[in-house]
Homo-oligomer: A and B are copies of this chain.
Amino acid sequence: MDAGDITVIRQAAGMQALSRGWHSEGLAVGLVPTMGALHKGHLDLVVEARRQCDRVVVSIFVNPTQFGPSEDFSRYPRDLEGDLAKLADIGVDAVFFPNPGEMYPSGFQTRVELTRLPAHLCGLTRLNHFAGVAQVVLKLFNICKPDVAVFGQKDFQQVRVIEQMVADLNLDIRIVRHPIVREPDGLAMSSRNVYLTREQREAATVINRTLVDSEAWIREGEHQPAAIVKRAGQQIREAGGEVEYFNVCDPVTLDDLNRIGAESTQVLLVTAVRFGATRLIDNRLVDCVWAPQPM
């Protein structure tokens, strides 16, 4: 099979008709929404969708509404030919690849916005980012009509926003969270890793190392989030990273925790770190199965 075997669809109506046809045959449809520049992290999502569904659609759309004016929309990596080759190797049934005018035609004016989840973490510096994400993902859901949609857990806040939107709007779609896929040295895979210099690339391994260490500190008995945040921040800064945030929070509401193990059975360690102009995110979900300590 080669890239020529993938149907690339550029019109929403055509994609809808294709998916409608599959549903009428009783086939289950899986969707993996992406912005292209596909790496192994994305491809694992596609394999997961392939495993769970009869038909798999990958959408490739660098969505302008989720980038801020000073962000990297125009220089975000784009490589349709390479992406199609990678997807052909796995076998997907369609790639939905619209242009911005197809997604946001003249007269477009509908915003989709969550009121609480975006008021945390990345949402504090990336204003309107999650409104853009919710808007485009809702459109992609309505266009591709999946039964199942697979998202990577690296963008944890994004997954929570989408899960909450799906629940709130009664979308008849099952959201599958896929574990973070990492490079051999632990760095979470990201299309933005290509921005890193060789030196930054090496230094960036501190992010995952610090998340792993933080879990160890918790298991050794450190139940004060402030102490974890301080120690983790120091470790990342010493390696040359600029910490935008490092939080210990509830994995459902994303609210900061006052004490680890007291409020939730799972704790989310989540961070955004800059190396030069490149902003990387990562996280680690920690099970708190021990009994809460006396306050």
Contacts and interface: CB of A to CB of B under 8 A. Distances in A.
A164 B107 contact: yes
A93 B142 CA distance: 25
Interface stretch (A151-159, A169-177, A199-207): A169-177
A172 B20 contact: yes
Contact of A109 (B24, B108, B114, B145): B114
A19 to B, nearest CB: 9
A198 interface: no
B112 A112 contact: yes
Contact of A110 (B16, B112, B139, B253): B112
A109 B168 contact: yes
Contacts of A164: 107, 109-110
A149 to B, nearest CB: 14
Interface in A248-295: 253
B169 A138 contact: yes
A60 to B, nearest CB: 17
Which of A16, A26, A110, A143: most chain B CB closer than 10 A? A110
A164 to B, nearest CB: 6
Interface in A107-142: 107-117, 134, 138-139, 142
A108 B142 contact: no
A116 to B, nearest CB: 5
Given A24-B26, A26-B24, A170 B139 contact: yes
A164 B108 CA distance: 8
A6 interface: no
A3 interface: no
Contacts of A26: 24
A256 to B, nearest CB: 17
A85 interface: no
Given A24-B26, A26-B24, A110 B165 contact: yes
8 contacts: A107-B167, A108-B168, A109-B115, A111-B111, A112-B169, A139-B169, A139-B170, A145-B172
Given A16-B172, A110-B165, A145-B172, 16 more contacts: A12-B170, A23-B23, A107-B164, A107-B253, A109-B117, A109-B164, A109-B168, A110-B112, A110-B134, A110-B164, A110-B168, A111-B111, A111-B114, A112-B112, A142-B169, A143-B170
In the A-B complex, the 6 residue pairs with the smallest Cβ-Cβ separation, listed nearest first, are: A110-B168, A142-B170, A109-B115, A111-B113, A143-B170, A109-B116
